[in-house]
Amino acid sequence: MIDFDRIPAHVAVIMDGNGRWAQSRNLPHMAGHNAGMLALKEIVKASSTMGVQYLTVYAFSTENWKRSMEEVSGIFKLLVLYIEKELKELHENNVKVKILGDYEKLPKDAVKSLQRSLETTKDNSGLQFNIALNYGGRDEILRSVKKLAMEVEAGKLKAEEITEETIVKYLYTAGIPDPDMIIRTSGEMRLSNYLLWQSAYSEFIFTDVFWPDFSKKEYEKTIEIFQNRKRRFGGR
């Protein structure tokens, strides 16, 4: 049974298994991504209802460009469709949308939809829904280090003054607490270049359930697992 007084503040998710879900049903690959979008809607709603403050989902990585152009194009079309359909409800439910990653390199229609969602929800104070798009953990850290190097070159910062806090200032997640728990669906047990800096003390929860089948009930199971763990943060 979930203790609603101990809901994790920040939940991050690696939404994996769309393709295998479709394959297991002899459906086109994109049918899995479409079903995954429906699952995402349910989890966003559940997070908001339960009192999760930040939900971060891995929607498209810097490595996903290696996939077929047909699949990549289809994913972005679904993204635009999702935003067009859900933006009104997200806004009405006080959800704030934030993008993590270099999303401006996406197709123009996707960028336009994303910017509209950011502008529409910027003043909302409920669940912050972070969408990691064209995101890579190593790329994020490299980006931060380069910006710090520029400050040192410009004489604005001394090398010995660089701390964890100054590095964090230039991460996409600046101002956002690290994830309390990271969920990965479909049975894979790795981070895949996701939130590498931020996950130092996150609790990892892996489930064999494919993302399109990851229901509110399955979500509650992972939160119950989280609540039954003792977090020591390096202590005893």
Say what angle helices 108-121 and 69-92 make with each other, to 10 degrees: 20
Place of tokens 């990585």: 61
For residue 16, indicate whether it is catalytic.
Answer: yes
Q: 161 with 136: CB under 8 angstroms?
A: no
Given 3, 5, 16, 93, the catalytic residue: 16
Distance CA 202, CA 90 (A): 27
Q: 201 with 233: CB under 8 angstroms?
A: yes
For residue 109, indicate whether it is catalytic.
Answer: no
Distance CA 135, CA 192 (A): 11
Q: Could you give the count of Cα atoms lying within 13 Å of 205 in the half-sphere of its Cβ? A: 23
Q: 25 with 210: CB under 8 angstroms?
A: no
Distance CA 33, CA 21 (A): 9
Q: 182 with 225: CB under 8 angstroms?
A: no
Given 3, 64, 93, 123, the catalytic residue: 64
Q: How many CB atoms lie within 10 A of CB 50?
A: 17
Catalytic residues: 16, 64
